[in-house]
Amino acid sequence: MSYRAPVKDMLFVMKELAGIDAVAQLPGHAEAGYDTAAAVLEECAKLNEDVIAPLNRPGDLNPSSFANGEVRTTPGFKQAFRQFADGGWQGLQHPVELGGQGLPKLIHAACAEMVNSANLSFALCPLLTDGAIEALLTAGSDEQKTTYIPKMVDGTWTGSMNLTEPQAGSDLSMVRTRAEPQPDGSYKIFGTKIFITYGEHDLAENIVHLVLARVVGAPEGVKGISLFIVPKFLLNADGSLGARNDVHCVSIEHKLGIKASPTAVLQYGDHGGAIGYVIGQENRGLEYMFVMMNAARFGVGVQGIAVAERAYQQAVAYARDRVQSRPVDGSLPAAAAIIHHPDVKRMLMTMRAHVEGCRAMALVAAAAFDAAHAHPDADVRKQNQAFYEFMVPLVKGFSTEMSLDVASLGVQVHGGMGFIEETGAAQHLRDAKILTIYEGTTAIQANDLVGRKTARDGGAMARAVAGQIEATERALAGRDSVAARAMLKRLAAARQAFVDVVGFIAGQTKASPNAAFAGSVPYLLLAGNLVGGWQMARALIAAEDRLADDVDADFMRAKITTARFYADHILSKVPGLRDSIVDGAAGVTEMAVEAF
Amino acid sequence: MSYRAPVKDMLFVMKELAGIDAVAQLPGHAEAGYDTAAAVLEECAKLNEDVIAPLNRPGDLNPSSFANGEVRTTPGFKQAFRQFADGGWQGLQHPVELGGQGLPKLIHAACAEMVNSANLSFALCPLLTDGAIEALLTAGSDEQKTTYIPKMVDGTWTGSMNLTEPQAGSDLSMVRTRAEPQPDGSYKIFGTKIFITYGEHDLAENIVHLVLARVVGAPEGVKGISLFIVPKFLLNADGSLGARNDVHCVSIEHKLGIKASPTAVLQYGDHGGAIGYVIGQENRGLEYMFVMMNAARFGVGVQGIAVAERAYQQAVAYARDRVQSRPVDGSLPAAAAIIHHPDVKRMLMTMRAHVEGCRAMALVAAAAFDAAHAHPDADVRKQNQAFYEFMVPLVKGFSTEMSLDVASLGVQVHGGMGFIEETGAAQHLRDAKILTIYEGTTAIQANDLVGRKTARDGGAMARAVAGQIEATERALAGRDSVAARAMLKRLAAARQAFVDVVGFIAGQTKASPNAAFAGSVPYLLLAGNLVGGWQMARALIAAEDRLADDVDADFMRAKITTARFYADHILSKVPGLRDSIVDGAAGVTEMAVEAF
């Protein structure tokens, strides 16, 4: 099933909701306005539609394989990666002086959605490389930056993130990998890392592993973790590849999905010690890693949107094609394409509304990131940074949970054919299931939302978001369309439920932590649902205005109907979530652990 | 991961909610009281825990394979099937005079849950055989019954159901398989059937295919469909196996899950015509098939409960074992088993509450089936039949949709390990995805609920259920526990929402069918959620009473907490669903088909 990048939808969001024109006013982004975005997206669409998307199913059928310490990726991946890097896509958001394009995150996020829709397994390699670049930009020395980043930007090398160990998953305080300082200022690294995405592969000539490890004698817990560069091949003085470093892939995992992306077990130091170089200061590794993780978390949220979009497109195509049963209203004399049946439409609308809501949320967050980094006014930067940080767990947590429902509906629309692997619908469901787990499970995102993003400031940022939503409600109240009234009703109820929950969470997190955290994931789902719905409300307003101007009427009508669907079918879930959070702690906390 | 049959939970439901004592009062079921049930369940548990459950993962790894027209099942399946049949489990609910045990459906349903938890792929063979037996009992001649049923009951032969064709899935009016009458009263059958579960295998010496086909010259549409017996091997006059019939397996499917169960494409009549024998009268095939389908639909609902129970048990075991992070309340000095973390408990409680609610719904429905068939009073039979028929789409539709969420949570509890196939958690998710599709998709169940079960009697049966729920509310109102008050609040709100929706559906189905059917699946989910919650409320009352008598206090406290969890986390979703149904049609119907 072919993929068509939703360029028009993306540009609508960028222009009407995320404010690409304002982003183009930021210092350094003068050329990143609407026209640039449109041109970049069109170019990006071509590569992903024509080259990368066709490799998605072959990657599932013929995954990365492991033999003798080496990983062979799916045939075609290497050439596609070359085209991807040569086209400048790896460097899209990275600094011009290090070989990148220097474009805003707003444009990068849309392009990232495309490559992930095209091929989630393939796209993980650039995603992890982006994370490594971010960490080096944050804390690397100038020499480290100039040594490693340009080679990663041009795709000669790739990056990997090495956090997890068998006993240290969500809990990084338990990392045991050991770093021994050497007289020359380098370190020898010893340990085992698991679940390392693209930790070994044949797409590039070197891999820059960023590795969390504990320097001998460092404090216990997270305050004793440092971050190291451990290249697969060491570098000679002239920058050419030197000796093979003592890091070796000992196996790759047999997974439910994203099969083409190799998930490596890496063994460090079995032959004398892997040479590593500390990034920044010792014992501050987790802090640097969080920079990388926040970028990666946002990126995984985009993956959720991407796989949901792909599943949606495939379901629509099948529903137009498959003929079965007469319409219930008797409007056609014979069996019709199933897209005419109300429940099939309801499923497709659910998929579509979720994708559009989450995409708008992500792109609005990306624009805030850009303002947080480039706006000349420090206060504006600070506000945008706080808004962006509030959004990250929602983009990651809600978009990925939503992607599971959407991918499952995608199978359902196909009926029995959906369960047959040849159809390809099931792959999206299998692929999507990792998204709620890696880069921090939904519960970890929810802990972040509850602890750092809500309780720490007493709910101030959350209430500021509610205030912005109220402004949208006032705009809706000034309109007399049926759709605007329907949206206003649901949005106001959902926003009020959110305010109730913020009060509960901000009040309970210290006093009664088990009660607050029992509601953490429902709170995340509530907040993500609401913010998506808020953006759909803004889309509805924009689309009604464009429609009044007689611009692209069918497109705008579809936007309005999708927003209305979101209001009545998705936002309508929010008050129930409030009840679960505010009243539901006892049902969790009163259960004795022994009683399960 | 081993499976432990939840015998105690099942017996609690049978005694306190489904009324096994009343079932034992029915003519013919005098020996089917609580003690019998307890003994049968214990015996059933042993076979499933020790023999059938250990074959679940091997079946996924080494599925049924096809070569040269023959299917070889997973090693061990054949011996296990022999033990299953020899133990009398295939004949549990079938008439004593045809070799069965004649036990009520209430006991059979609990036993069916066990074999499905143990091994969904294995259990499909008995499930389909049960369906074939039901159809023969309904419409077969005495000779057909005595010829085929005892051999199926003792496991010498198995049954299969042949409905689907490439162009005829949900829409059976499009069946094209052709039956040509022969001078001797038999028919020659020609056509292709797909998605035939256990349509070919090596577990038994013969397969009794029940096949929907159209007699030459029959009316168009569903009124021209007849049902035929087409045995894989024809029978000699003495009942011994004779010539191979002209029905051949040409391939089996490569599926997302239930991989050990062969899903066959069967070709009828490529070598002169398969010999078939009509069941009952020509052109009434669909009517007979519905009997079989209703039994099978209930059975698939039980599969949903079963796979969810297995996923729950596996998640609990992992959560007790996996140590990661300190509890948020600081109650332990070091990292704890993750079952101590509130969100992990919330996930496990969600799984548990769903399983318990759906199990109670199914067993209460099974008891109604027993009364509908055996009660001496015709009015009581009729009431129970109407109640049972109302429950079938809920048991099938809601339990299977719930099983997807539960199996997905099961993976989530495992974190990264859940995504690795070796863990086995992902298999439950892959297996479960067929359950919302086969034997009628969730939308088909919802159409049945809206059309035949709600609109046809103007909502009378639905309102009668609401009336029974109100009686439970009155019982709750007479209690002063916190849990009873919490349950009463949610149950009353959910029942009121249901009544609102019944009014909408009963009023709109003819006047505005697209609007009614746009809400059909949400209505099914609402009703299933409510009926499960109603049974949890009854369980709460029973458990409080037993606790007051100081019976099995820990067990009863867990029942109460689980009921309370259901109220605040699951029943609390119902009002939002009402809003989607009553207000949400426009968001579906106003979208032009071209706009997707």
Q: Is the CB of B221 inside 8 Å of chain A's CB atoms?
A: no
Q: Tell me if A416 and B195 make a contact (CB, 8 A cut-off).
A: yes
Cα separation, B584 vs B522, whole angstroms: 10
Identify which of B94, B78, B83, B7 has the alpha carbon closest to the alpha carbon of residue B47. Answer: B83
* A261 within 8 A of A129, measured Cβ to Cβ: no
With a CB-CB cutoff of 8 Å, which residues 460-519 of chain B face chain A? 482, 486, 490, 513-515, 517-518
Q: What is the pLDDT of residue A78?
A: 98
Cα separation, B577 vs B570, whole angstroms: 12
Cα separation, A36 vs A405, whole angstroms: 34
Cα separation, B582 vs B409, whole angstroms: 30
Reduce the DSSP state of residue A203 to 3 states and report it.
coil
**Strand duo B263-268 + B247-252: pairing:** antiparallel
Q: Indicate if the alpha-carbon torsion angle A160, A166, A170, A172 is positive or negative.
A: negative
Q: What is the pLDDT of residue B55?
A: 98
Phi then psi for B438, rounded to 5 degrees?
A: -80, 165
Tokens of B222: 């569903």
* A545 within 8 A of A474, measured Cβ to Cβ: no
The alpha carbons of chain B give a radius of gyration, in whole angstroms, of 24
Q: Which of B220, B449, B590 is the mutation pick for testing A, counting most A CBs within 10 A?
A: B590
Q: Which helix (H) or strand (E) holds A277?
A: strand A274-278
Ranges of residues in chain B whose predicted pLDDT is under 50: none
Q: What is the DSSP letter of B512?
A: -
Q: What is the pLDDT of residue B1?
A: 64
Whole-number Cα distances in Å, B531 to B306, B364, B574: 18, 10, 11
Cα separation, B291 vs B289, whole angstroms: 5
* A230 within 8 A of A274, measured Cβ to Cβ: yes
Q: What are the beta bridge partners of residue A66? A: A71
Residue-by-residue pLDDT tens, chain A, 596 positions: 699 999 999 999 999 999 999 999 999 999 899 999 999 999 999 999 999 999 999 999 999 999 999 999 999 999 999 999 999 999 999 999 999 999 999 999 999 999 999 999 999 999 999 999 999 999 999 999 999 999 999 999 999 999 999 999 999 999 999 999 999 999 999 999 999 999 999 999 999 999 999 999 999 999 999 999 999 999 999 999 999 999 999 999 999 999 999 999 999 999 999 999 999 999 999 999 888 888 899 999 999 999 999 999 999 999 999 999 999 999 999 999 999 999 999 999 999 999 999 999 999 999 999 999 999 999 999 999 999 999 999 999 999 999 999 999 999 999 999 999 999 999 999 999 999 999 999 999 999 999 999 999 999 999 999 999 999 999 999 999 999 999 999 999 999 999 999 999 999 999 999 999 999 999 999 999 999 999 999 999 999 999 999 999 999 999 999 999 999 999 999 999 999 999 999 999 999 999 99
* A162 within 8 A of A266, measured Cβ to Cβ: yes
Q: What is the DSSP letter of A591?
A: S
* A384 within 8 A of A368, measured Cβ to Cβ: yes
Q: At what angle do helices B378-413 and B342-374 cross, to 10 degrees?
A: 160
Q: Is the CB of A262 inside 8 Å of chain B's CB atoms?
A: no
Q: Is the CB of A346 inside 8 Å of chain B's CB atoms?
A: yes
| Residue B91 distance to chain A (closest CA, Å) | 29
Cα separation, A202 vs B261, whole angstroms: 38
Identify which of B488, B461, B462, B464 has the alpha carbon closest to the alpha carbon of residue B474. Answer: B488
> Angle at the Cα of A207 (from A202 to A211), degrees rounded to 5?
135
Reduce the DSSP state of residue B255 to 3 states and report it.
strand
Tokens of B96: 């004593």
Task: Give the model confidence (pLDDT) of A293-317 as tens digits.
Answer: 888 999 999 999 999 999 999 999 9
Q: Indicate if the alpha-carbon torsion angle B331, B332, B336, B337 is positive or negative.
A: negative
Which amino acid is present at B312? Y
Q: What is the pLDDT of residue A298?
A: 97
Longest dimension (CA), chain B: 85
Q: What are the beta bridge partners of residue A323? A: A337
Q: At what angle do helices B105-118 and B342-374 cross, to 10 degrees?
A: 140
Q: Tell me if A412 and B574 make a contact (CB, 8 A cut-off).
A: no
Within 8 A of B574 by CB-CB distance, chain A residues are: 576
Closest alpha carbon within chain B to A173: B325
Q: Up-side HSE of residue A54: CA atoms within 13 Å toward CB?
A: 9
Q: What is the pLDDT of residue A568?
A: 98
**Strand duo B157-162 + B206-215: pairing:** parallel
With a CB-CB cutoff of 8 Å, which residues 73-92 of chain A face chain B? none
* B400 within 8 A of B432, measured Cβ to Cβ: yes
Within 8 A of A412 by CB-CB distance, chain B residues are: 436-437, 441-442
Q: Is the CB of B443 inside 8 Å of chain A's CB atoms?
A: yes
Tokens of B289: 């098939």
Tokens 């390699």 belong to A125
Which amino acid is present at B502? V
Q: What is the pLDDT of residue A292?
A: 82
Q: Is the CB of A409 inside 8 Å of chain B's CB atoms?
A: no
Task: Give the model confidence (pLDDT) of A248-277 as tens digits.
Answer: 999 999 999 999 999 999 999 999 999 999
Cα separation, B414 vs B420, whole angstroms: 10
Q: Label residues B191-211 b or e (16+ Cβ within 10 Å = b).
A: bbbbbbbbbbbebbebbbbbb
Q: What is the pLDDT of residue A441?
A: 97
Helices marked H in B414-519: 425-432, 442-450, 460-477, 482-511, 513-518
Q: Tell me if A572 and B567 make a contact (CB, 8 A cut-off).
A: no
Q: Is the CB of A387 inside 8 Å of chain B's CB atoms?
A: no
Cα separation, A581 vs A446, whole angstroms: 13
Reduce the DSSP state of residue B76 to 3 states and report it.
coil
Cα separation, A385 vs A180, whole angstroms: 37
Identify which of A369, A389, A159, A169 has the alpha carbon closest to the alpha carbon of residue A279. Answer: A159
Cα separation, B528 vs B542, whole angstroms: 21
**Strand duo B178-181 + B247-252: pairing:** unpaired
Within 8 A of A564 by CB-CB distance, chain B residues are: 586-587, 590
Within 8 A of A521 by CB-CB distance, chain B residues are: 343, 346
Q: Up-side HSE of residue A280: CA atoms within 13 Å toward CB?
A: 18
Q: Which of B4, B161, B194, B412 is the mutation pick for testing A, counting most A CBs within 10 A?
A: B412
Q: What is the pLDDT of residue A255?
A: 98
| Residue A514 distance to chain B (closest CA, Å) | 6
Q: What is the pLDDT of residue B58?
A: 97
Q: Is the CB of A220 inside 8 Å of chain B's CB atoms?
A: no
Which amino acid is present at A22? A
Which amino acid is present at B264? A
Under 8 Å CB-to-CB from A214, ≥6 apart: which residues? Answer: A175, A176, A177, A178, A179, A224, A225, A226
Q: What is the DSSP letter of A275?
A: E
